Amino acid sequence: WQDVSSPDAAARSKLSCGHAVFAELFKMVPAAKNLFTRVNVAEINSPEFNGHVMRVMGGLDILINYLDDIPTLESMLDHLAGQHAVRDGVTKAGFGAMATVLMKSMPQVVEGFNPDAW
């Protein structure tokens, strides 16, 4: 994960990693694209969708950095769940799909990816 979030190339690497994650999601669950119309998913390289990708990757980065502080991590995850609960079509199963997507897409963009660390 350090390769993706390092300050030297953080924006570029987070964006390319995020695009790989969403490409895998849309390949695995094509209907998932319907959940992202408000961020212009029809234009995958649009500023709106790129902004969404960066917010998702930034959130993931924050969560990863709190893996050793479970109470805070759980609080952040509860907040994230609340933000998504109000969005039509977003389900708990969808978050499970995202976990699978991360495990499939990360080896494509993270050199020396270690699935055991995840």
Q: How many CB atoms lie within 10 A of CB 115?
A: 8
Give, rounded to a whole angstrom, the gap between the first and last alpha carbons of the chain.
Answer: 10
Ligand-binding site membership of 83 (annotated): yes
Residue type, 94: G
Q: How many CB atoms lie within 10 A of CB 36?
A: 18
Ligand-binding site membership of 2 (annotated): no
Ligand-binding site membership of 79 (annotated): yes
Q: Pick out the residues of the known binding site.
A: 79, 83-84
Q: Pick out the residues of the known binding site for heme b.
A: 79, 83-84
